[in-house]
Amino acid sequence: MVNVQAGSLRKQPTEDAGPSFLACASLLASEFAARAAQHDRDGSFPFENFEQLAEAGLLALTVPAALGGKGANASEAARVLNIFGKADPSTALVLSMHYIQHLVMARSTRWPGRLSRKLARESVEGVSLINALRVEPDLGSPSRGGLPATTARKTETGWRLSGRKIYSTGAPILKWYAVWAKTDEPEPRVGLFLVPAGLPGTRIVETWDHLGLRASGSHDIVFDDVVFPLDHEIDVRRPDEWRIPDLTHATVHTIFVASIYDGIARAARDWLVGFLKSRVPSNLGASLATLPRAQEIVGGIEVRLAVNRRLIEGFAGDFDDGVALDASESNIVKLTVTNNAVAVVEDALSLTGNHGLTRANPLERHYRDVLCGRVHTPQDDATRLIAGRLALGL
C-alpha cells in the first residue's frame, strides 16, 4: 500500500508475513526502556540490546534485501530509530551509525563491492556493527576542516595505521571501524580505511564519562602501528576533493540523529502527561492537568513535536524519492529538530520543578540526553554560518 503525499508516492513500512519490523522494534523498545536507567547510572554498555537486535534481524535493517537484509529506506529506519530513541537513546545512537554506513555502502560507487557484501552478510548473520571513527583530540570534528593526525602508511604487506580517535560511539561492540586518516605520501590523501576491530596494536581507552548518552560506549580508540590489508582502502582522495560533502551520508545522518533526539523529547512528553494527570495537590483538589498554564505548555510541546515529525518525515521521504537535497538544508533540519527537542524537555521541567530533576524520575535523564543534540555534529554555529554565507552569496 502506498500513501500519496505532496504529489509523490511514499513507500509505507514493509510488512513481513508476521509482525512488521516496526512492531518488532516496539516490543524490543519496551525491554530496552526498562534497562535504560540502570545502564545510564552505571555508564555500562547495553550488550544485551544488540544481541536481541541481531536475533530480530534489526541489525540488518538497512542492508539491501538482495544481500539478505530488510532493505529499509531512510524513512523506515528513521521510524525505528525514533522508537529506540524514546526507549534508550544510547542504543539508538550506536544503531544509527551502523545504519548510516550500510545505507552509504548500498549507494556508494566508491565502497569496494567485496567489502560491502562481506559486512552486509555479517550483519545478517550475527552481532556485527560498524561505525566511522572521525573525531580526534587535536583536530576535533573533520566537518570543520583540517587534516587528521591519524596516518596510514602503505607497505608491501599492508597499511600500517597509527593515531587516536575520540567519541567512538559503540566502541565496546564494534567489529569494524571506518577510520578517517591521511596517508604518509609526499602529497597526502585523506579518507576512509576499513579496519577490523581487535587487531594487534588496537586498544580501547574507556574515557567516556559524559553528562548524557552515558551508555553509548563512546570511548577513545588508539591505533599503534596496526596492520590491515591493502584492499581495505574505502575512499581516499586529495583533500580538496572532500570540499563537496557526501550527500547520502550528510542526509541520512541528519535524519537519523534528528529522529533519536525527537524520540527523547517524546519520552519526556509522555512522562510529563502522566505526571500532570496523577499529581493532585491538596490545595488544588484536582490534577495539575486541569490548570490552564499546564495545558498551554503541553500544547506548546505538541506544536514542537508536530513540526519535528513533519520535518523528519518530509525530508526522509524526499531523500527516498530521489529529490535533490543539499547539505545546508540537511543541517538546518537537524538544528531545528534538536532545538525543538531540547525546548520540549525544558518546558516539561518548568512544570515539574524538583520532581522533574530527581533521579527517581526519568525526566532528568531525558534532559541530560537531549542536551547532547546541541553538540552533535553538525553544530548550530556551523549550520548558521554556512546558511548565512549561502544567503549572502559568499
User: Which three cell numbers, joined as nine digits, stand for 22?
Assistant: 516496526
Average predicted confidence (pLDDT) for the chain: 93
What pLDDT, on the 0 to 100 scale, is given for residue 1?
Answer: 32
Counting Cα atoms < 13 Å in the Cβ hemisphere of 79 gives 19
Residues of the chain with pLDDT > 90, as a percent, come to 86
Model confidence band, residue 18 (pLDDT cutoffs 50, 70, 90): very low
pTM assigned to the model: 0.93
pLDDT tens digits, one per residue of 379-389: 999 999 999 99
Model confidence band, residue 293 (pLDDT cutoffs 50, 70, 90): very high
Q: Is the pLDDT of residue 11 over 90?
A: no
Q: Is the pLDDT of residue 222 over 90?
A: yes
Q: Is the pLDDT of residue 344 over 80?
A: yes
The helix or strand, by DSSP H or E, that contains position 225, with its residue range, turns out to be: strand 219-228
pLDDT tens digits, one per residue of 124-170: 999 999 999 999 998 866 766 689 999 999 999 999 999 999 999 99
* Pairwise CA distance, residues 378 & 329, whole Å: 12
CA nearest to 16, candidates 4, 29, 25, 7: 25
Residues of the chain with pLDDT > 70, as a percent, come to 94
What pLDDT, on the 0 to 100 scale, is given for residue 143?
Answer: 64
What pLDDT, on the 0 to 100 scale, is given for residue 146?
Answer: 80
CA nearest to 102, candidates 122, 125, 84, 82: 122
Q: Is the pLDDT of residue 348 over 90?
A: yes
199-203-207 Cα angle (round to 5): 155
* Pairwise CA distance, residues 311 & 335, whole Å: 11
Domains in the chain: ranges and CATH: 17-127 (1.10.540.10), 132-242 (2.40.110.10), 247-392 (1.20.140.10)
What pLDDT, on the 0 to 100 scale, is given for residue 6?
Answer: 35
What pLDDT, on the 0 to 100 scale, is given for residue 91?
Answer: 98
User: Which three cell numbers, joined as nine digits, stand for 11?
Assistant: 513507500
Q: Is the pLDDT of residue 10 over 90?
A: no
What pLDDT, on the 0 to 100 scale, is given for residue 244?
Answer: 80
* Pairwise CA distance, residues 129 & 372, whole Å: 22
The helix or strand, by DSSP H or E, that contains position 333, with its residue range, turns out to be: helix 327-352
Q: Is the pLDDT of residue 359 over 70?
A: yes
